[in-house]
A and B are shown apart, each in its own frame.
Chain A
């Protein structure tokens, strides 16, 4: 079973990397990009076969390691 975790900076936390990407896009002539937020995607291969259990475990992983919930939010997809 595979899991995909999206980790994003929370709204209100400045994302200097996203800002740099936004500037670069502007310089390349892509007008009208009003905001860029950069995050992470983490893919996990799990031995677990029960989707509910997998989601619970991956959520625990996010809380403990994969995201820093002071500044980041996360979402878990199980496939």
Chain B
């Protein structure tokens, strides 16, 4: 299983994501944003957290139009897997691979703390290692994580069981407590919480590692 982790100027969770993928058994290649092609044979693209391009214009907007993102889009459009965490989720909404947008937190404050998340579906390569309905504790660290989409999109996400995670206590004003969503083919996941920061015993718990091990395990079997 081969994962590519994209690095933008301002990414700061790229190496944490690499370690989480490696601990789950994946081979990882770091890919610079100016590259135009993903390495051959990449199964999953990771878009890490951070502040790509200083969050200028809108969070994720400049990154979403960088050369490598054209290849990431093509990869996802032909059925490839992609995982966007925090700023990576913002980038995925800006590319249009996931619907909606992440607005400024309703409390206007940057929020950094471990929170309880409810796993809403186990029907995806990312969440198959969890039982739906389970509560896991994963940290958030963001200023713009307030998920917004119009009523039709929200209805569709619910009808198709594409909400992967919801906050137990909403920290940012997200509609319907949404913390993470899946694409229509369930192969692209965007989430604001950081599973790579709760992935080793020294982090406090390893509930985030399950996401990486189930993803790597499913793709290795495929």
State the main secondary structure of chain A at its contact with B: helix
Interface residues in B53-71 by Cβ distance below 8 A to A read: 57-58, 61-62, 65
Interface residue count on the A side (C-beta < 8 Å): 11
Task: Kindly state the separation between the CA atoms of A57 and B61 in the bound complex, as whole angstroms.
Answer: 19
Q: Which residue of A lies closest to B107 (CB)?
A: A16
A13, A17, A64, A70 — most chain B CB neighbours (10 Å): A70
Q: Are A66 and B57 in contact (CB under 8 A)?
A: yes
Q: Tell me how many residues of B have a C-beta within 8 Å of chain A.
A: 21
Which one of A17, A64, A68 contacts B104 once the chains associate, using CB atoms below 8 Å?
Answer: A17
**A65 within 8 Å of B (CB atoms):** yes
Q: Are B65 and A68 in contact (CB under 8 A)?
A: no
Q: A68-B94, A71-B148 are in contact. Are A16 and B104 (CB under 8 A)?
A: yes
Tell yes or no: A25 within 8 A of B by CB.
no
Closest Cβ–Cβ distance, residue B185 to chain A (whole Å): 20
A44 within 8 A of B: no
B residues touching A (Cβ–Cβ < 8 Å)?
Answer: 57-58, 61-62, 65, 93-94, 99-101, 103-108, 146, 148-150, 173
